[in-house]
Chain A
Amino acid sequence: MSEQSPNDQFLAVERTIGEIQHADGARLAELRVDLLGRKAGRLTQILRSLSSLPSEERRVVGLRANDLKREIESALASRESEVASRKASKQVADLTMPGRSAWRGAIHPVTAVVDEICEIFRDLGFTRVSGPEAETQEYNFTKLNISLDHPAADMQDTMFLSPGIVMRTHTSPVQARTMEQYEPPIRIVVPGLVYRRDAFDASHAPVFEQIEGLVVDEGVSFVDFKAAIDFFVKRFFSKTTAVRFRPSFFPFTEPSAEVDVKWGDGWLEIMGAGMVHPAVLENCGIDSERYTGYAFGMGPHRITMLRHGIPDIRLLFQNDMRFLGQFVE
């Protein structure tokens, strides 16, 4: 130890000062002896060794040692009084006091549902694509085998922007855009907002999320369609959730189906689906004799309401901090 230079000794002592602030009563007593003890206190030793130093060095080291001694004494005194006062009032830290938190943000529950659905289909080889929200009538209706002359067009009340341009009423136009651009095998999910001329009420909104799915390949049949939807329902809801397929009508699928899941005592409709209508394939330049496929569409807003027991769709658009805060992970 005597081999240490005065500077090293100072640094070692300075490091010990930090410890004083957190020491308990017993450790404080030890530290007092260790640093300032009459016989072997480290600072005492430094002061004692001053006489052996050359005169100008003695002055510099002496000043520093005395500064340090004052600092140590004040730190010891302040900590000792702290420990003593705590002891006096028998105060132990109350660990039931709340911890220090930071703001945590939540993903919107509809986004969470969209992501979860897309991830489940990713396991079946689906990729995730998007498309424009303002569409031509051609893509929104005509290519999907919907004639504006037919009452089927009334199934969706449409917002028009200008002649021939509409806000898409479903994400299905992305089916057509994808089929025109890519060759089968096509397996896509398309989440996005869709628009209907519906006033807000507890179960309707003029804008809401939809997820479209499309598969086109050789040898894709109604059996494959059922298997994929079944896989999805079991993963999204539960392994024991019963699924029911009912006939229905959509201009762009045939056979068409509504898919219900068992919910309590009844059945709840969760998606419209079916085998892609050959006219839609042909409209998009795909040989409908060689290729078949299936498509489905579902409403994440509705599924979100179902999953979380949300009674009014407007809560999903209000952006109330108290509501969104419930979905912090």
Chain B
Amino acid sequence: MIVSLNWLSALLGVDLTPAEVAERLAMLGEPVERVEPVHQDLTGIVVGVVERVARHPNADRLWLCAVNNGVEVLDVVCGAPTVETGGKYPYAAVGSTLPGGAKLKGRKIRGVKSNGMLCSEHELALGTDESGILLLDTDAPAGTPLLDVLAVGDYRLDVEVTPNRPDLLCHRGVARDLGAVLGKPVKLTTIPGAPPHTETPVRSATMGSVGGVEVSVEDVSGCPRYMAAVIRGIEVRPSPDWLQRRLASIGQRPINNVVDATNHILFELNQPLHAFDLAKLAGPKIVVRRALDNEPITTLDGERRRLNSAMTAICDARGPVAVGGVMGGQSSEVSEQTTDVVLECAYFDPKRIRATRRTLRISTEASYRFERGTDLQGMPDALRRAVGMVIAVAGGSEAGPPVDVYPSPTKAVTIFLRPERVTQVLGVELPRAEIEGYLTSLGFTVAPKDGRIAVHVPGWRPDVTGEEDLIEELARLRGYDTFPSEMGPLRPSSVPDDPGYRLEARMRRILTGRGLHEARGISLGPKSGDSAQAVLNPLSAEEAYLRTDLTAGLVRAVEHNWSVRERDIRLFEIGTVFHAAAEGERPQEDRMVAGVITGSRMPAHWSESGVSVDFDGWDVKSLLEEVARAAGSKAVMTDSGGRWVLGGPSGEELGWAGPLEVDGPSWAAGVFGFEVRLTNRDAVTTRFATLPSTPPVTRDLALLLPDGVTAAQVGEVVVRCGGKLLESADIFDEYRGAEIGGRSVAWRLVFRAATRTLRDKEVDAAVTNILGALRKQLGVERRET
């Protein structure tokens, strides 16, 4: 909402500074997002005093003025005959910019150099008069900025209005809140030229008539109250300067006196109005009814629109002349030929307007306000002021008392406020007088009622419906900063921690320890797999689905890093993936951890002549193993199609690791990835194992593995047959060569007895047992050297 500082000052009868208003409004919950001086384009213009006027030596219709600009006296060529010695005029220096963006140059006019320019009202975009230079009636000395001299100096404040506060969408509303903290009442200014009296509206239940126009309301739920006045004998022309300037001060383009008058009321009182050209209304009558499906109307913006039966149409005897509460129709638009107008002042149902403007995809100043709720009780005052303003600026007179179709008048809302509840919520006991003071300063009326306070809510505050709303008003007016910040005793939460976050923290520690950076992607992407859940209203095709895995996003991150010439990339992510469920049900969500690695396994070091080894599949396999262990997963690792698969206890796939096919630049290394579902969320508690005090005995076995026999199979036999004395069995070498006829894998077996030193004989027996079993079960032989 754009607010003019001068307008606010006029309503409160005080001079306000923009900084003060911005600060006060912020602390009332109405932050000012921007403050800008009005007529910023005039900041370079100063008061110039004409010290001499002489005829231009080479031209009859030009004058040569000596202008004092506060610093020096310069020659300025001028075409207007009215410039007088001693007069003060707006002076634009060479190099300054005039409204419209033209930059002033020093130039010779008929052989005489002109240093700048004296300006007319038109040249300054302050009005339409271009006949002469604007004579300034001021005591200010030469050189004073023009904006300090002319009454046009003003500030435009962009006030952020929350959706619950329609009353703040007008100057009176903002002034009311401001006045409540400043202790100043709001008083509407008198309209110059308005008639002293206007007709009192006549209320009726379903229909009435004014000035020969029959008004009836059929759609009472969509339009609970409809008022109309008729003014005859007006003359449509540009508005007087004060009105034009006022609208311009809030960035509104003046149109004509009738439209400008209704706009003034809109921005002053928050009551949208509409003026129909009476001559163009068939009947003449106005019928407020539901639109018919597909009923056409051409709105003021020139669009041909189709209405439907969920909308309220304002119709004449032929058909719709306006979309109720949203936009008028072209057929009954006020034009320069208009002499008689019907002024509509209505209340439209907020939900109806919201649905209508969404269907039609338009939002207007009117629909914005009706959608948030206008003041049902304030309508007669708004219409009265509107009639006065139209007559003041366009002439004419009222053709009889306005109609007021208001079938079931609603009473003001009354709320019973309990002072003890105020204390319970705010933590501070507010004296009753203070409570009543705050509320009355905002226009609420209060009365005692059995230890409670009966509060009547004014019509402009549709947001206030309950006790809590009043308590907020009290806190707001008292000022949030006036409440102490004291920590009271507190009881611990009854809610247990989500175990997932500890598991995820553990994953982060492990993976950062392994040199991977934590990535954070977005959960949206292109379709990946049949189970992908689509977004109904995506922003783009690239973000039209929820992700079904984390790896795809990490691969995109690898590609990004390649694009900035990073070769060594190590990333992991912990996040949610989604699988579509039936329509109307939430998709399945799984927490996952995934990682990608590519490039050097270690940072290059000079001692190795800068040569480093790249990651391979064995690196990613160990990441998978570590992650599985940290997740407490009793998973079984199998390899399938060139990658490792982590199977859960009942055979489901919990994760995988392996190489990834990614097209990279020629200098890129192979990419390896893993992804694991985080299912077991319990932390694993380490059980202490007694530290051995006896010495180990080590035996190295080089074993020849026939084709098709895996290390895992061998390991299983070794462990099974090694007996209780076998402490560990690890692979430390692999050799492949024709001379040994295939593949040899070397194991280091460590034997130990917990309480005594082993004898060689016992170990030899165990090794013999292992070798026997290997030979028999797998055909594995010991390699002879």
Contacts and interface: CB of A to CB of B under 8 A. Distances in A.
A8 interface: no
A224 B487 contact: yes
B536 A161 contact: yes
A130 B501 contact: yes
Interface in A132-168: 132-136, 149-152, 154-155, 159-165, 167
Given A106-B512, A167-B535, A132 B589 contact: yes
B497 interface: yes
B602 A103 contact: yes
Contacts of A186: 493-495
A247 B28 contact: yes
Given A128-B497, A193-B576, A206-B543, A278 B468 contact: yes
A128 B500 CA distance: 10
Interface residues of A, number: 95
Interface string A99-142: 01111111110110001000000001111111011111000000
Contacts of A231: 487
A319 B520 contact: yes
A140 B412 CA distance: 32
B424 interface: yes
B466 to A, nearest CB: 8
A202 B458 CA distance: 43
B427 A224 contact: yes
Most chain A beta-carbon neighbours within 10 Å: one of B497, B540, B571: B497
A279 B60 CA distance: 82
A182 B493 CA distance: 10
Nearest to B27: A246
B520 A247 contact: no
B486 interface: yes
Interface string B478-515: 00110111111011111111101100010010011111
B54 interface: no
A32 interface: no
B475 A247 contact: yes
A187 B497 CA distance: 11
B164 A249 contact: yes
Given A102-B603, A165-B586, A222-B426, A125 B492 contact: yes
Contacts of A325: 517
A247 B535 contact: no
Most chain A beta-carbon neighbours within 10 Å: one of B350, B486, B491, B566: B491
Interface string B659-677: 0000000000000000000
Interface in A168-186: 178, 181-186
Given A318-B557, A319-B521, A249 B512 contact: no
B486 A227 contact: yes
Interface stretch (B125-133, B577-585, B753-761): B577-585
Interface residues of B, number: 96
B488 A101 contact: no
A192 to B, nearest CB: 9
B128 to A, nearest CB: 39
A226 B466 CA distance: 23
A222 B481 CA distance: 11
B691 interface: no
A309 interface: no
A125 B163 contact: no
A102 B601 CA distance: 9
Contacts of B554: 319
B385 interface: no
Contact of A178 (B495, B524, B564, B566): B495
Contact of B584 (A98, A163, A188): A163
Interface in A276-329: 277-278, 292, 316-322, 324-325, 327-328
Interface in B8-49: 26-29, 31
Nearest to B468: A254
Contacts of A278: 466, 468
6 contacts: A103-B515, A134-B578, A221-B427, A246-B480, A257-B480, A292-B425
Given A130-B500, A183-B494, A249-B164, 12 more contacts: A103-B568, A130-B498, A149-B350, A154-B163, A161-B587, A182-B495, A197-B537, A221-B425, A223-B484, A245-B480, A255-B426, A318-B557
The 8 closest A-B pairs by CB, nearest first: A103-B515, A221-B427, A247-B29, A223-B427, A105-B512, A249-B162, A319-B557, A245-B480
